[in-house]
């Protein structure tokens, strides 16, 4: 695998930014590493960070490059500040950046497939929310999406935070303002009800996670509405050891053509 | 010289961020490079980026590492988004990050001197404003400060922008809100009048720069009030060729003990 | 934790080189990460790569930064090409670089402790050999050393390879020439017999590893001579999944003062 | 422009290595930077380092990214240790890496043109030699090649060094052994006589450079044999200020289709 630290300019955000990219390599001689071959355009997993992270988080906290090597898949890790992957009420248009500019930039730099069957998205915590929202709002772009310890019930979450006076409350205010998010396209439950052809969904959460309740609620909801979701609930908290384990499950679960 | 890309966590900003750092090395064998020695704690120049840049700008657009090698000085290049180096009205506390957390982090990682005589700050455009504001608000921290094509008259600038409906206007609104900045500690003119013991100041601007008028106004003001400023005005626009040239002048001008 | 990619010049090697460095940070707000505090000079683990790797290997194939965060320890990862951490018969003086220049450079850049009780070394495969050789030849520098799937019986290994005509044989020829290494200071068994005050030693190997036999031989030898070694032998091959697991054991085993 | 630090595995060299790559971006909003557009496959300049450098040298010592931005060209900067871009007598096969593996890797990662008219090579000192040797041995691959302060008369150079007992003599011994290189394919003069359809050539050297005499000799030779070479000789020494200036000339001189 190749690891690329890519500093580029976002025309939309009007600022230099960075992404970390992993590309498969067709090699045999790397000691201690299984390496899968690929042919033609490369399938890609967009992998989204959490609230206190930037584009470096996944490579620093997990062995994502090693795990990806087995599957011949590219991994693209962008950064979106504290935005919740939204066009911020007070800040930058990270949703438009993520869903429009970023894929274009990525495809202009690297031989990444733009076929729906080769495109996947996953993320943790705030990025789990971002991954599901992206896949549910643009189901024509993705074959599968995974949320690890995701913020699933953003509307309730935001409502509760809007009453608080702490730093996280301010983060949510900058992202969403004071709107009620229930039923809007920020609300994963609303998006689920609206879409007809959904990508394959995977949802992991630890039972000691402070987001466990809203993950349980999400699972009940999808169950009730007969929306197929692969769930992986097990003992674990909101921490990187859990995500290091679950991202391996996600890669094994992805419906890659090469499998 | 050593070039360090440093990914670290800002406790204050509650997010991972990065800085680029250049450290002097006592070497002789680098072909084609003059290298000055240093003894003991290393003097440091904080070097601030402009509006559309991040921490990588100075190393990518100029030969700053090569220029610094001659002087045995460290260069610290942080990043502050579109904040104008202020505690944003709608956003993060980049002023507190810059003036308090950053120097502490830098000194905890590297053997950088905290003596006033070894500390300098410079920047371009938005960063020229940031450099002067930092030096004028914390004159006890710096011996010298330089502004290259700086936003010198922020108050007028902001007032004009507040009437506009363009992306830059929004950037300024997020940083400052709708306040009148004249006379506040965001106003370099007000800060100049207030301080008694100023660091040595250096001001460069190109006569074709769109900020030329406010730089001229600043020069007239300091002249009128007998505030000593080294000026370097010459043909040139708001572009990196100019800054690549002027940063060499700044390094030659800095009152380094080792000179 | 902070992650630093450090490009520097090696006066001895007469070439630019790089190291990856992890420094502890005293933070609380990183989501999903346990972070231990430190006081004063930072303890350090030099962590050595294997034959087909460079300075990036440990951070890319394991979660070393996350594991180190729990202990408030710095990790220094240099690179030495295919040298086996020796002054090469045909090539560069990587042993002198490693054991003399590197620690000086590291201490000139970062507030790393030079006290024996704060210095540790570990490595995998070729780097396991390098770690033990460094610790056995310079026992006054290290309190503990760990070998993961190390090349323990280099003399036999080299002798066998010298008869071959393959790429690895050439690598060993460039490093050692055609000398018989048995009994020399390249021979860990000879070094073990010679030293009196040894650092604490830790030896891990998988029972499916192609180096398992020489690791078993090493363990028998230390047993016979009553040299205390902590061993961790378990099912596993010569691959990064094993090293990702064992490096966590090593960090838990290190006799850090702060524990 | 985008700046990419690319860590990849060289199957041929059997080790992880790195390259720095600059890719054009079609943007308008970067303050202070002229940016040229490109269409379709990107033209590329392979840019080679000198003896004491690695892949980071050109970006750290010059403003190459800024200069390239004007031309919509990609820059690829590999690293080859002290090899003189040759298959070393005692060391790695860097010539084969450079001329075969590297272009394949680059084209598999990035949308770089493989058309002769879009491929260029340049370098400084040891890399000036490498650039001319590559272009003269593979004239079907390149439309133009530039040498800045190049080692032009390697055969004489090597003969003289072979009599010495200094570190550079050892470097040359490892690269070439003790052979007489005159008339071989390591000898640029021999290569010039042999080829019929040469790429456009550009040769720069400072008149205070310790390689000035052999550059003069090369110029006389090409003059005598009516081989067209664009020369740029001026006051200057063997140092990065000179190369920062001349690489701008090279970019202006390249016969890019888009010009």
- Boundaries of every domain in chain A: 2-253
Structure confidence by residue, pLDDT tens digits, B65-108: 999 999 999 999 999 999 999 999 999 999 999 999 999 999 99
Q: How far, in Å, CA of B77 to CA of B74, rounded? A: 10
Q: Collect all residues with Cβ–Cβ distance below 8 Å to A94 and sequence separation of at least 6.
A: A13, A80, A81, A83, A85, A86, A87, A88
- Asked if B65 lies within 8 A of D60 by C-beta distance, the reply is yes
C-alpha–C-alpha distance, residues D206 and D211, integer Å = 8
Contact C9, B27 (CB under 8 A): yes
CATH code of the domain made up of B2-151+200-253: 3.40.50.1820
What confidence tier does A160 reach under pLDDT thresholds 50, 70, 90?
Answer: confident
Spatial separation of the C-alpha atoms in residues B173 and B84, rounded to whole Å: 11
Count CB pairs under 8 A between chains A and B. Answer: 56
- Beta-bridge partners for D112: D42
H helix or E strand, kind and range, residue A44: strand A44-48
pLDDT score at A51? 96
> Higher-confidence residue: B244 or B193?
B244
Q: Which CATH superfamily is domain C2-152+188-253 in?
A: Alpha/Beta hydrolase fold, catalytic domain (3.40.50.1820)
Interchain CB distance below 8 Å, D32 and B59: no
> How confident is the model over B149-162, as a mean pLDDT?
88
Write down the mean pLDDT value for chain C.
Answer: 94
Q: What is the pLDDT of residue D121?
A: 98
Measured CA to CA, the distance from residue D171 to residue D168 in angstroms comes to 5
Mean pLDDT across B131-160: 95
Q: Which residue has the tokens 């290091």?
A: A244
Section C84-113 average pLDDT: 97
CB neighbourhood size of A93 (10 A): 16
The pLDDT of residue A133: 98
Tens-digit pLDDT profile for residues D229-254: 999 999 999 999 999 999 999 999 99
Closest CA to A116 of A142, A144, A135: A142
For residue B164, what pLDDT is reported? 73
pLDDT at A11 over 80: yes
pLDDT, mean of residues C21-45: 85
User: Scanning the structure block, which residue is given the tokens 């002229």?
Assistant: D34
What's the whole-number mean pLDDT along residues B165-182? 90
The strand pair at B144-148 and B200-206 is best described as parallel
Distance between CA atoms of residues C171 and C175, nearest Å: 6
User: b vs e for A227-246, b when ≥16 Cβ sit within 10 Å of the residue's Cβ?
Assistant: eebebbeeebebbbbbbbbb
pLDDT of C66 reads 97
CB-based contact A6 D11, cutoff 8 Å: no
Residue range A212-222: average pLDDT? Answer: 97
Say how many Å lie between the first and final Cα of chain A, rounded. Answer: 18
Query: By mean pLDDT, which of B223-237, C143-157, D160-174 is the weakest?
Result: D160-174
What is the pLDDT, as a whole number, of residue C30? 82
Give how far D167 is from chain A: nearest CA, Å: 32
Q: Which of A4, A5, A6, A7 to mutate to test the interface with B (most CBs of B within 10 A)?
A: A7
User: For B186-239, where are the alpha helices, taking DSSP H only?
Assistant: 188-194, 212-224
How many other CB atoms sit within 10 Å of the CB of residue C180? Answer: 13
> How far is Cα C209 from Cα C218, in angstroms, rounded to an integer?
14
DSSP-derived secondary structure letter, C118: G
Query: Tokens for A141?
Result: 């772009």
Is pLDDT above 90 for A161?
no
Rounded Cα distance between B79 and B60, Å, is 14
B135 HSE (CA, 13 A, CB side): 31
pLDDT score of C89: 97
Residue A33 DSSP one-character state: -
Confidence category of residue D11, pLDDT binned at 50, 70, 90: very high
D185 and D137 Cβ atoms separated by less than 8 Å:
yes
Query: For position B180, what pLDDT does the model report?
Result: 93
pLDDT at A166: 79
Task: Determine whether the interchain pair B5/C5 forms a contact, defined as Cβ–Cβ distance below 8 Å.
Answer: yes
Given a contact cutoff of 8 angstroms between Cβ atoms, the answer to whether D172 and D84 are in contact is yes
Statement: residue C160 has pLDDT above 90:
no
Q: Which CATH class is domain A2-253?
A: alpha beta
Read off the pLDDT of residues A219-242 as tens digits, 9 standing for 90 and up: 999 999 999 999 999 999 999 999
Please give the Cα distance from D186 to D153 (Å, whole number). Answer: 10
Dist CA B192 CA A7 (whole Å): 37
Mean pLDDT of B220-243: 97
**C52·D15 Cβ contact <8 A:** yes
The candidate with the shortest Cα–Cα distance to D46, out of D109, D126, D102, is D102
Average pLDDT over residues C167-184: 92
List D18's β-bridge partners, or say none: D7
Measured between CB atoms, does C60 come within 8 Å of chain A? yes
Does B11 contact C23 at a Cβ distance shorter than 8 Å?
no
Q: Does C182 touch chain B (CB under 8 A)?
A: no
Cβ neighbours of D53 in B, within 8 Å = 31
The string of pLDDT tens digits covering residues B248-259 is 999 999 999 887
Judged by a CB distance cut-off of 8 A, whether residue D17 touches chain C is yes
Name the average pLDDT for chain D.
94
- Which residues lie below 8 Å from residue B254, measured CB to CB, with a gap of 6+? B45, B71, B73, B120, B144
pLDDT at C36 over 90: no
Distance from first CA to last CA of chain C, Å, rounded? 18
Closest residue in chain A to residue D1, using alpha carbons only: A8
What is the pLDDT, as a whole number, of residue D51?
96
pLDDT for D166: 79
pLDDT of residue C27: 82
Q: What value does the mean pLDDT of chain A take?
A: 94
Question: Which pLDDT tens digit goes with each residue over A116-159?
Answer: 999 999 999 999 999 999 999 999 999 999 999 999 999 998 88
In sequence order, what are the residues at sequence separation of 6 or more whose Cβ sits closer than 8 angstroms to the Cβ of residue B210?
Answer: B238
pLDDT of residue C220: 97
Contact predicate A17/A10, CB 8 Å: yes
C7 reaches B (C-beta below 8 A): yes
| Residue C229 Cα, gap to closest chain B Cα (Å) | 34
Residues of C with Cβ-Cβ distance to B23 under 8 angstroms: 109
Res C145 pLDDT > 80: yes
Least confident of B161-170, C7-16, C239-248: B161-170
Confidence bin at A26 (pLDDT 50/70/90): confident
Strands A200-206 and D144-148: unpaired
Q: Which helix (H) or strand (E) holds C119?
A: strand C119-124
Mean pLDDT over residues D28-39, rounded? Answer: 77
Query: What pLDDT does C29 receive?
Result: 78
Interchain contact D105–A (C-beta under 8 A): yes
Q: Which residues of D touch C90 (CB under 8 A)?
A: 90-91, 174
Kindly state the percentage of chain B with pLDDT values over 90. 84
What token pair was written down for D151? Answer: 């080692």
pLDDT digits (tens, 9 = 90+) for D91-128: 999 999 999 999 999 999 999 999 999 999 999 999 99
Calculate how close chain D gets to C54, using CA atoms only, in Å.
6
Average pLDDT over residues D68-72: 94
Contact B6, B74 (CB under 8 A): no
Per residue in A54-81, pLDDT (tens digit) is 999 999 999 999 999 999 999 999 999 9
Helix axes C154-162, C167-176, angle to 10 degrees: 120
Percent of the residues in chain B that have a pLDDT greater than 70, as a whole number: 98
């Amino acid at each position: 695998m190749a690891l690329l630290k890519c500093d580029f300019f976002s025309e939309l955000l009007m600022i230099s930014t960075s992404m970390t990219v992993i590309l498969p390599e067709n090699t045999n001689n790397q000691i201690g590493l299984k390496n899968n071959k690929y042919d033609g355009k490369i399938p890609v997993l967009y992998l989204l960070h959490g609230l206190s992270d930037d584009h470096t988080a996944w490579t620093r906290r997990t062995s994502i490059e090693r795990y990806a090597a087995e599957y011949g898949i590219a991994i693209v890790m962008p950064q979106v500040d504290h935005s919740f992957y939204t066009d911020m009420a007070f800040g930058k248009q990270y949703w438009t950046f993520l869903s429009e500019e970023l894929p274009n930039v990525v495809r202009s730099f690297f031989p990444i497939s733009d076929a729906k069957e080769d495109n996947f998205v996953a993320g943790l915590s705030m990025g789990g929310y971002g991954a599901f929202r992206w896949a549910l709002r643009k189901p024509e772009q993705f074959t599968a999406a995974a949320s690890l310890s995701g913020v699933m019930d953003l509307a309730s979450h935001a409502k509760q935070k809007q009453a608080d006076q702490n730093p996280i409350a301010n983060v949510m205010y900058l992202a969403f303002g004071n709107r009620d998010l229930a039923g809007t396209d920020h609300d994963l439950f609303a998006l689920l009800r609206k879409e007809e052809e959904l990508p394959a969904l995977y949802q992991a959460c630890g039972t000691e996670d402070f987001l466990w309740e809203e993950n349980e609620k999400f699972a009940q909801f999808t169950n009730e509405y007969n929306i197929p979701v692969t769930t992986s609930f097990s003992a674990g908290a909101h921490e990187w050891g859990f995500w290091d384990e679950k991202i391996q499950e996600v890669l094994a679960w992805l419906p890659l053509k090469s499998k």
